[in-house]
Structure 1
Amino acid sequence: MDIDARIKRRRRQDDSPRLIQDYETLSPAAHIDEPSDRGPVFERLLDHLDPVFDSRLPPNAYVYGPFGSGKSAIVTALFTHLERLSTEPRSVIYTTTRAGSPTSPGFVYVDMRETTSAFTFYHRIVDALVDEPVPEHGISTEKLQDRLHDLLSEFTTGVVIAVDHVGEPNTTGVDTLIDMLAGLPSNVSWLAIGRKPPDQIALSEYTATSIQVKRYQRQMLVDVLMTRASEGLARQAINHEQARQIAAWGDGNAHDVLAALFVAADRADQAGRSRIEKADVISALDEIPQPSVSLGRVLALPNNKQAVLRELVDLDEDERASVTATTEAISARPDVDLSPGTVKRFLYEMAEIGIVERVQSDVENRKGRPPSRVELRFPPTAFSRLYDLKQ
């Protein structure tokens, strides 16, 4: 751990106010408590969840919409508020002693990007419902299921579980997820969230309704940008004209416009400026691949794969001329304790799930077809900054 490096990242050369007040709030992968301009979607979700206000469970449902439409932000915010309200009039619902019976259902959020097996699926649910730590070792999946059933056996109101990012690459397969959901107690209902339309995902066969979340309209994206800027940047760091430019470019995708804001702000901050300039916006828009992948997916990768990506971001053009050159350069870095074979395997695996892309290299190869090189499918500035802040 390089403490000096950590301190240096936070120091400025003068006493002027920091342009970026909070990187985490500015992150496209972060969700704020009050998402902007999504009132109608919240109302449709509340219509579906209305039975909970009479201490009953709603039926299963599927929320769907394109990448960047704000599905996760909406559901996480709503579930956070509902869980808070459901516990206000009484003591905590789910205690180890189960001292009292709840008067309304509880709410649990599970992110399938971070839930890679039936064990972790049930573990996350149980962990959200009890106060004491749930062991991660020395307990079987079946025992966790039994504990969950025992835990909810005395609670007639049950639990509503949000299951986010279903059907994405590198997550649990839909058929397997259906089996996992079938293993939940009978007094549990679930709300699945994904990108595919209902007729393209088998999960919808087990739901009573589907709720669509459409792309953001342009003015909505401007509001999203200005709201996020007000929470993460210094005052007047970005103007409405710049926000409109980014929103027009984003074509309804809140993730990409927030990534552009992040990159533009970081560029301006690194240059010591107190406001974002036109050149910062142009540079940010040029940096974001189209189509891009969610930074949330990248940051949910195992640590060793993120470490490989972090080194990949810093490679020069020659080191990225081919997969072989990239592999050798990354494995030679002092911070990477991986063999060249493992690095290459990681690169291929991440290409298969769309995190990076293998494209034909411009390097001539007289022995056969040109070698392939690796291109990023996410904004490198945003990833590297967020990665470094976690270290």
Structure 2
Amino acid sequence: MQTPSTFKTASLSLCFSVGAVLFSSHAGGGFATGNQENVYFVSLGWLGPVTAIITMLLFTLTIKEAMNMYNSRHLRSYKQLFQNLYSPFKGIEVLFEAFFYIMVIMAVSATVSGAASALAAQTGINYYAGIGIVGTIIFFLTIFGAGLVRRATTYMGIAILAMVIAIFSVGVYMGGSVEGTMFFTQAMAQDFAVNGFSKLPTAILHAFTYSGFQCVVIPTMIVVGMPLVTRKNCATSMWFSFAMNAIALTLAVCMLLGWTGIYGKSPLPTLTSLKSMGMTWLTVAYSIFLMLCLISTGVTTVFGFTARFSEIHMLKKVSKSAVIRSAIVTFFIIALSMTVSIVGLTNIIKYGYGYCGYLAIAIIIVPFLTVGRYKNIRYAKDKAYRARIDAMNADPDSFEESPVMSTAKENA
């Protein structure tokens, strides 16, 4: 297994690969169906595309600081990451644990259920058989470690981005060609004339909330991003990801802005809009796109959970094989999520994303973009501070009595 110390710097292709993992995690079922765009961006009118870009900037900058903090200090778990972020305050990291567990169950349940429904609709396969098929695919793409996750989601990310550009560009171009639609520029101009800047406070809240609940992928990103040992590597990777995410999300919002008169309150805005265009190839491409989005999100979300719990002492007693331990943890979370998807907690999943997003603003987005950034910059420049933090990470239970830390305090 490669560790941060085995890398002096990361290649552009590796930076792109890690950025593609983040894009693949974002491009999930909510994005593919158009539900998330409609609720968080299209409802803002002309501010929607602008807010989408700002949201992706907040999201990628947050992940950049998280990866940099994790890699520079050679941490071993996301628990240590949040202990470093919240230090000297103790115990606050349990809030992220709660957020993470809830989001994993909701995200994977929605993924498995959505993919099974799509598979049943397109092929006629029984819904429950579809759940089993999708769960199995996610299982095998998850248990073999960060390398496979990085490769698989990179390929899926490239395919998703290509389909996003093709599908939504056609949708933007076709705006105004069907009764009840208009070009997105007309929709934006009309909304600006009516609402002006009245939706600006809502736009700011939506930007932080949306980027907040997407941060469920932090445990995955810090593992697949371990080769990015320098701050420049982390920044390069996240600029790649920002470009992919911003292009995809903004294109989707622009298309849906022109088709609101067609899909109305439909739970599937994108599919309803595409069917109205009368192009069979578009709906076929969309079906493939939807499946890739659902599976890629399932893989990246489950892997973060697996990476956290496959290394616990109890499982190491069960097996020395990392693959077997990963298989046990992955099977557990997928089985639990499949059970939830069968029971059908759709409304809880929908509303849960929003509430988890609010929590994430307070415990993830704001702390990483303020305190986290300050600590990362200081860690890179201040030798005394670096010695104190390294001592804390070496012995977190007694770091206050550490001689190294005491010396560092005196020198600081």
| TM-score normalised per structure 1 | 0.24
More strand by share: 1
Structure with the larger RCO, 1 or 2 (CA within 8 Å, 6+ apart): 2
| TM-score normalised per structure 2 | 0.23
Q: Which has the larger radius of gyration?
A: 1
